[in-house]
Amino acid sequence: MQSGPHPPALLAPAALADSLFLSDNPLRSKNPVHNVLDHQPARNVDCKNSIPTGPIDTTLCDYETVESVNDRLYANLHELVRMPFFKYFQIDLFRECPFWSDDGSCSDPGCAITTVDESEIPEKWRASALSRLEGSNLDERHELPGCYYRDSDFCFLDDNTEGDYYDLSLIPERYTGYSGPDAARVWRSIYEENCFGVSEVNLLSGPNPALVSLPDTMSEAFRLDGGDGGQCLEKRVYYKVISGLHASISTHICAESLNQSTGEWGPNLQCFINRVASHPERLQYIYFNTVLLLRAVARIGPYLQAFDYCSTGNHEDDAETLAKLSDVISIAQNAGRFDETVLFRGENANILKEEFKAHFRNVTRIMDCVGCDKCRLWGKIQTTGVATALKILFELDEKALDPTANHNLLQRSEVVALINTLHRFSESLEAVEDFREMWKAMSGDDGEKEKLIVEAEKAAAATSRPRPSPAAGREPNDKRFDVVLARWLRVCKESTIGCMGLVVAMWRRGLEALASLFTPSGKERGPAGFEL
């Protein structure tokens, strides 16, 4: 689908300028494109013992560690997602959009995808077999036509009663021609699900913290970044998850772009500069999402290693899949340093978490409104993958993660989506390196570089900042009333104190909403300059 500041290390200013692509507040950076494309990735460092030169905001890891492991991570994931268990995916791409009647269907050939006949799918992974195996997960389901969610879910899941099978290894995520008002409406609606009033501008415009090295605890990381002890941490994390997903998708579109003159596919440097490099914070969010996903994989590692990946009956593919997966889990244990226990704490934590889940669930439903089949497929997979990671981090305790006690904890579709989504983000970082090589190859032609930057500035100036339309804004909120009411009744039934807290929170939100009528937040526009 077309589509912040961090504490620098105790290094000399010159070293910072040479080594960091996000060494200062991106809003105040004079040369953001140079900061991104002139950056030289680090190699062979470790979160635990390296001298960090770029802590990733709201994590316990730094850019250099992610860069040092990404080659190995990408190589393993690239092979893993081509193995039978992870490449076959069943999904319903024709469920009706719940928010507006016209999905702006894409007629471009690039939007079309080919299904796989069910006879080619190993029998044990077909919908009929999975429904028998996953019967224990039918408890606490909240049903909608063709999909459902459980109380612990951050997304809507297909119920496997409808849908086709796809071989994901044959469907690259790339430019499709799906753009303009229809794609803009989808992204605008997604950003409007950021109900917390956080925008790119107010996330990045705060004062830069003092020079520090990588913090030892997540609490310290939040404090150093100007956090207020828990009140806004979840809001910032939510925004970064959404914006990082958008930036990663944009990177894939630019990495696999169609040259209209030659008819050939390849990287488009101008596209990348326009959409990502000229806004370095977007690249930061790709790193943030990568760390978050790695932490989820590390935490669910024993469960993943206990899964049955055999498709042929001779267990050779099972052993090969487990070998690659074990490498990925090992990398995740090193680089996935994110302390989920710091979030959703305090007297209103449960209310905030329910709100967080409800809004992310709606993001997954908005994917049914994407008019391009290929974009809808990858949008649904990646929102499911991120939602699965969020569930692993914020809903499942150590007892629940025991693969012996809960062998049906996750649906197969969630496992496949999680690994494919991590692959998408890792591949985005790999693509950034390719763009840096293209930029480096132009080292003798500063005039050509300047031309690319000027074109990016023109594109940003020409990009309108649309106001939300009734179809894209109000309808999703109206249709959530039943969900909000059900959640309210459930909280009040379980706890009088929780019920009173919810009443106070709703009263406070009403006052904030009234105040927002006079103070535009900018959140309805998405990140400034994103070409949609």
Render pLDDT for 318-333 as a digit per residue (tens, 0 to 9): 888 999 999 999 999 9
Cα radius of gyration (the chain): 22
Provide the pLDDT for residue 406.
Answer: 81
Q: What is the mean pLDDT of residues 89-118?
A: 85
Q: What is the mean pLDDT of residues 156-163?
A: 81
pLDDT at residue 403 is higher than 60: yes
Distance CA 336, CA 398 (A): 17
pLDDT at residue 94 is higher than 60: yes
- How many CB atoms are located within 10 Å of the residue 15 CB? 14
Distance CA 532, CA 77 (A): 29
Structure tokens at 285: 């969010």
Phi-psi region of 163 (alpha: psi -120 to 50; beta: other; left: phi over 0): left
pLDDT at residue 139 is higher than 70: no
- Residue 79: pLDDT band by 50, 70, 90 thresholds? very high
pLDDT at residue 274 is higher than 50: yes
pLDDT at residue 443 is higher than 90: no
13-47 pLDDT per residue, tens: 333 333 445 554 544 455 788 888 888 777 665 55
> How far separated are the first and last CA of the chain, in Å rounded?
8
Distance CA 362, CA 189 (A): 9
- How many CB atoms are located within 10 Å of the residue 161 CB? 11
- Residue 447: pLDDT band by 50, 70, 90 thresholds? confident
Of the candidates 126, 79, 59, 88, the residue with the CA atom closest to the CA atom of residue 415: 88
- Name, of 31-45, 132-146, 225-239, 426-440, the range with top average pLDDT: 426-440
Residue 297 and residue 304 in contact, taking contact as beta carbons nearer than 8 Å: yes
* Domain residue spans of the chain: 13-525
Q: 472 versus 297: which is more confidently predicted?
A: 297
Catalytic residue among 61, 111, 155, 375: 375
Distance (Å) of CA 510 to CA 197, 352, 357, 484, 496: 13, 15, 20, 15, 21
Provide the pLDDT for residue 388.
Answer: 96
Of the candidates 345, 318, 361, the residue with the CA atom closest to the CA atom of residue 483: 361
**What is the 3-state secondary structure of 149-181?**
EECCCCCCEECCCCCEEEEHHHCCCCCCCCCCH
pLDDT at residue 286 is higher than 70: yes
- Residue 532: pLDDT band by 50, 70, 90 thresholds? very low
Of the candidates 339, 342, 291, 285, the residue with the CA atom closest to the CA atom of residue 5: 285
Q: What percent of the chain has pLDDT over 90?
A: 32
Is 271 among the catalytic positions? Answer: no
Q: DSSP E strands: which ranges in 162-288? A: 164-167, 257-258, 265-266
Provide the pLDDT for residue 426.
Answer: 98
pLDDT at residue 52 is higher than 90: no
- Range in 143-157, 232-246, 452-466 the model is least confident about: 452-466
Q: At what angle do helices 181-192 and 349-366 cross, to 10 degrees?
A: 170
Catalytic residue among 61, 106, 372, 499: 372
Largest CA distance in the chain: 70
Q: Is 407 helix (H, G, I), strand (E, B) or coil?
A: coil
Q: 263 versus 329: which is more confidently predicted?
A: 329
Provide the pLDDT for residue 219.
Answer: 43
- Range in 152-166, 184-198, 280-294, 396-410 the model is least confident about: 184-198
Q: 405 versus 6: which is more confidently predicted?
A: 405
Q: In DSSP terms, which residues pair with 265 in a beta bridge?
A: 258
Q: 348 versus 74: which is more confidently predicted?
A: 74
pLDDT at residue 455 is higher than 70: yes
Residue 343 and residue 302 in contact, taking contact as beta carbons nearer than 8 Å: no
Provide the pLDDT for residue 130.
Answer: 65
Distance CA 297, CA 295 (A): 5
Is 372 among the catalytic positions? Answer: yes
Provide the pLDDT for residue 373.
Answer: 92
- Range in 22-26, 358-362, 373-377 the model is least confident about: 22-26
Structure tokens at 211: 């020079």
Q: What is the mean pLDDT of residues 243-257?
A: 95
- Range in 98-107, 133-142, 198-207 the model is least confident about: 198-207
Q: 361 versus 60: which is more confidently predicted?
A: 361
pLDDT at residue 160 is higher than 50: yes
- Residue 390: pLDDT band by 50, 70, 90 thresholds? very high
Whole-model pTM: value is: 0.78
- Write out the H or E segment, with its range, that includes residue 142: strand 141-144
Provide the pLDDT for residue 161.
Answer: 75
> How high is the mean pLDDT of the chain?
75
How would you class 444 by CB atoms within 10 Å of its CB: exposed for 0-12, middle for 13-18, buried for 19 or more? exposed
Provide the pLDDT for residue 409.
Answer: 86
- How many CB atoms are located within 10 Å of the residue 231 CB? 11
**If you ran DSSP here, which 8-state letter would residue 279 be given?**
S
- How many CB atoms are located within 10 Å of the residue 267 CB? 16
Q: 530 versus 428: which is more confidently predicted?
A: 428
- Residue 134: pLDDT band by 50, 70, 90 thresholds? low
pLDDT at residue 270 is higher than 90: yes
Distance CA 175, CA 378 (A): 12
DSSP secondary structure string, 40-91? ----S--TTTS--S-BPTTSS-BHHHHHHHHHHHHHHHHHHTTSHHHHEEEE
Provide the pLDDT for residue 53.
Answer: 46
Q: What percent of the chain has pLDDT over 70?
A: 67
Q: What is the mean pLDDT of residues 51-70?
A: 73
Provide the pLDDT for residue 476.
Answer: 41
191-241 pLDDT per residue, tens: 876 555 544 444 444 433 333 333 344 444 444 344 444 346 788 888 899
Q: Where are the alpha helices (DSSP H) in 349-479?
A: 349-366, 373-394, 412-441, 446-462, 470-478
Q: In DSSP terms, which residues pair with 373 in a beta bridge?
A: none
How would you class 269 by CB atoms within 10 Å of its CB: exposed for 0-12, middle for 13-18, buried for 19 or more? buried
Q: 475 versus 147: which is more confidently predicted?
A: 147
Cα angle 247-8-293, degrees, rounded to a multiple of 5: 40
